[in-house]
Chains A and B, each alone.
Chain A
Amino acid sequence: GENVEQHPSTLSVQEGDSAVIKCTYSDSASNYFPWYKQELGKGPQLIIDIRSNVGEKKDQRIAVTLNKTAKHFSLHITETQPEDSAVYFCAASIIRNTGNQFYFGTGTSLTVIP
Chain B
Amino acid sequence: EAQVTQNPRYLITVTGKKLTVTCSQNMNHEYMSWYRQDPGLGLRQIYYSMNVEVTDKGDVPEGYKVSRKEKRNFPLILESPSPNQTSLYFCASSWASGGFGELFFGEGSRLTVL
Interface residues of chain A, those whose CB is within 8 Å of chain B, are: 1, 6, 32, 34, 36, 41-46, 49, 51, 89, 91, 93, 95-96, 98-107
* With A42-B107, A91-B43, A102-B45 already in contact, 16 other A-B pairs whose C-beta atoms are closer than 8 Å: A34-B103, A36-B103, A43-B106, A44-B43, A46-B103, A49-B102, A93-B100, A98-B50, A99-B50, A99-B98, A101-B56, A103-B45, A103-B59, A104-B44, A104-B45, A105-B42
Q: A104-B42, A106-B41 are in contact. Are A43 and B100 (CB under 8 A)?
A: no
List the 4 closest pairs (A to B, CB-CB), nearest first. Answer: A43-B105, A99-B50, A98-B56, A104-B43
What are the residues of chain A within 8 A of B40 when measuring CB–CB? 106
Tell me the complex Cα distance, A105–B99, Å.
20
Query: Secondary structure at chain A's binding surface: helix, strand, loop or mixed?
Result: strand
Q: Does B100 lie within 8 Å of A51, measured CB to CB?
A: yes
Q: A43-B90, A43-B105, A45-B105 are in contact. Are A89 and B42 (CB under 8 A)?
A: yes
Interface residues of chain B, those whose CB is within 8 Å of chain A, are: 4, 31, 33, 35, 40-45, 48-50, 54-56, 58-59, 90, 92, 94, 96-100, 102-103, 105-108
Interface centre among A32, A96, A106 (most CB of B within 10 A): A106
Nearest opposing residue in chain A for B105, CB measure = A43
What are the residues of chain B within 8 A of A41 when measuring CB–CB? 107
Q: Does A99 lie within 8 Å of B54, measured CB to CB?
A: yes
Tell me the complex Cα distance, A45–B104, Å.
7
Tell me the complex Cα distance, A107–B54, Å.
30
Nearest opposing residue in chain A for B101, CB measure = A100
Q: Does B43 lie within 8 Å of A89, measured CB to CB?
A: yes
